[in-house]
Amino acid sequence: MPALDAPTAAATDQPAAAVRTYLDHLSVERGLAANTLASYRRDLRRYLAHLAATGVERLDDVTEAGVSTFLVHLREGDADHPPLSATSAARTVVAVRGFHRFALADGLAAHDPASGVKPPTPAKRLPKALPLADVEAILEAAGAPGTSLALRDRALLELLYGTGARISEAVGLDVDDLDLAPHEGDPHDGGQQEAAGDAFEGTVLLRGKGGKQRVVPVGSYAIEAVRAYLVRARPELAGLGGPAGTGGALFLNARGGRLSRQSAWTVLTRAAERAGVTRDVSPHTLRHSFATHLLDGGADVRVVQELLGHASVTTTQVYTLVTVDNLREVFATAHPRARG
């Protein structure tokens, strides 16, 4: 097989020379990053080896069946390559499709044999939700030992779990985005709390993907944690004199600046460690738990869609798969005739 960087005399119809032209196009005209370009080069080198092994010498001799066979080989592997996952195989097929589309548009081939070959669909990964006991343990651990940063951490995590906000949405909040209007009888308003957990009502304005905004209700636990932070901790952090422009930020770091996404992630993971939670905890863990627990409690999927800020209910419905799994597990262990 000719080397990718050594064009042959018949550059217009030999696959290796066409690949070289395509890679030049990706590098010079599209400005792909070095790592991305290396991935394309590696994937297309394997494709060229497949074409050579099947006796294909001209792009016009490549057929849709031949491209499909290459996909099968990716998934099955061979003596020199392990089988690829659906995700990795899909990436390689995308590179091959892009190459053939370019070859047709640039006059290097008379047809595009890859246009009808679809990348394999990666297996749907279910969101990871924590049991309620683990969430409560993490929230408690975040608030100890009661320092300014601990009050901030508890308020942050309570707000994440209480609203289903993305971490980026939470750290982007300003104080003015909160509306923590007290009910009549709010103890913070000089009255008497009428019922536990029913003394507050509030909302928060979240700015999601694509600049979309949504107003989400805030529960009493989150409100109490945020109030404690605003009264007892944030003034101290704000007094440290953070960078200009962070004056209105809700969550501040130890230097008085706006808390970053990376720092918020660290807050969560450290709280999980202190709580002894051994499950994997990621920035979306509390958001996933929020959605799953709502559905487990009987919430309508379209209500959860609105709370999460999903553009399509299809995105939200993946959480119903988690709920079905939970129901199946309970049924299998609790019903007297669930098992033979």
Instruction: Name the residues annotated as catalytic.
Output: 166, 209, 284, 287, 310, 319
- DSSP-assigned letters across all residues of 228-261: HHHHHTHHHHHTT---TT-TTBSSB-TTSSBPPH
Token pair belonging to 249:
């930020």
How far is Cα 28 from Cα 155, in angstroms, rounded to an integer?
49
Q: For residues 25 and 102, is the Cβ–Cβ distance under 8 A?
A: yes
Q: What are the angstrom distances between the C-alpha of 119 and each of 78, 89, 285?
A: 19, 7, 29
Beta-carbon count within 10 A of 154 CB:
28
How far is Cα 234 from Cα 152, in angstroms, rounded to an integer?
8
Q: What is the largest CA-CA distance in the chain?
A: 89
User: How many whole angstroms from its chain centre is CA 36?
Assistant: 20
